[in-house]
Amino acid sequence: MMRSFASNPCRILTYGYDEVLLKTRQAVLELAGYEADIAGSADEFHDRVSQADSPYHLFILCHTVPPVEQSSIRESATDAGIAIYGMSSSVSPDDFLLQVRALLSI
């Protein structure tokens, strides 16, 4: 069963180094009914996570994030029980949303 977006939208944090990709993914997620934030640096990512009023349900890591940073974030997310989506460079918006929905389904 999928979460109900009307009463409690899923919160998603997307992290990467390409501002255009981040903003595009944020727009796609918001049009699909998700609450989407973006982070363009490791410091911004950690600040958003630590200052969040409610927890994130999914972290999306862009292919532009170095493997060492991805590994560190994956460890933290696993400990916190937060799903991770490591994106490749060429994913269509439809496939992107299918993967997000699959990771967020209960």
pLDDT tens figures, 74-105: 888 888 889 999 988 788 889 999 999 999 98
Note the pTM of the prediction, 2 decimals: 0.86
Task: Check residue 79 and give its pLDDT.
Answer: 81
The CATH code of the domain at 11-104 is: 3.40.50.2300
Domain ranges of the chain: 11-104
Q: Give the pLDDT band of residue 6 (cuts 50, 70, 90).
A: very low
Burial 23-59 (b: 16+ CB within 10 A, else e): eebbebbeebebbbbbbbeeeebeeebeeeeeebbbb
